[in-house]
């Protein structure tokens, strides 16, 4: 799982970019506990749109493509060489079926 960090994109708004960390221990358990304690929807329902986006794919925006290009070397140093988004260009359609399956198992 890739952690995300918000960064200003040249005054045009906030963009989410990957950071060096890979996973936060207990993150999924935290989702489960939070959903059980305070969720209005079952966790599977709350994750549906993320599952659909991962399964069906997303179009890489120019902003995301630019952030990936600018951060490419750092991403590769952090072990992201097999990450499907690393070398994508604006307009590319990217699906992540393994992520979709993982999110379905979590829900």
> For residue 19, is pLDDT > 90?
no
Indicate the pLDDT class of residue 31, thresholds 50, 70 and 90.
confident
Measured CA to CA, the distance from residue 32 to residue 50 in angstroms comes to: 16
Average pLDDT rounded to a whole number, residues 36-41: 92
pTM assigned to the model = 0.69
Nearest alpha-carbon partner for 9 in 51, 52, 66: 66
Residue 13, Ramachandran bin (φ over 0: left; ψ between -120 and 50: alpha; else beta): left
Question: In whole angstroms, what separates CA 65 from the centre of its chain?
Answer: 14
DSSP state of 40: S
Report long-range pairs for 80-84 (Cβ below 8 Å, ≥24 apart): 80/2, 80/18, 83/2, 83/18
Mean pLDDT (the chain) is: 82
Provide the total of helices (H) and of strands (E) in the chain, helices listed first. 5, 4
What's the confidence (pLDDT) of residue 95?
95
In the predicted model, is pLDDT for residue 52 greater than 70? yes
- Contact at 8 Å (CB) between 84 and 75? no
**What is the rounded distance in angstroms from the CA atom of residue 33 to the CA atom of residue 65?**
35
Q: Is the pLDDT of residue 101 over 90?
A: yes
């Amino acid at each position: 799982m890739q952690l995300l960090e918000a960064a200003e994109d040249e005054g045009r708004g906030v963009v989410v970019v990957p950071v060096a960390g890979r996973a936060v221990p207990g993150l999924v358990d935290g989702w489960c506990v939070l959903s059980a304690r305070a969720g209005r929807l079952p966790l599977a329902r709350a994750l549906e749109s993320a599952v659909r986006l991962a399964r069906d794919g997303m179009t890489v925006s120019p902003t995301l493509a630019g952030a990936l290009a600018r951060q490419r070397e750092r991403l590769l140093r952090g072990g992201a060489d097999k990450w499907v988004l690393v070398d994508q260009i604006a307009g590319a359609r990217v699906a992540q079926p393994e992520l979709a399956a993982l999110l379905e198992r979590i829900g």
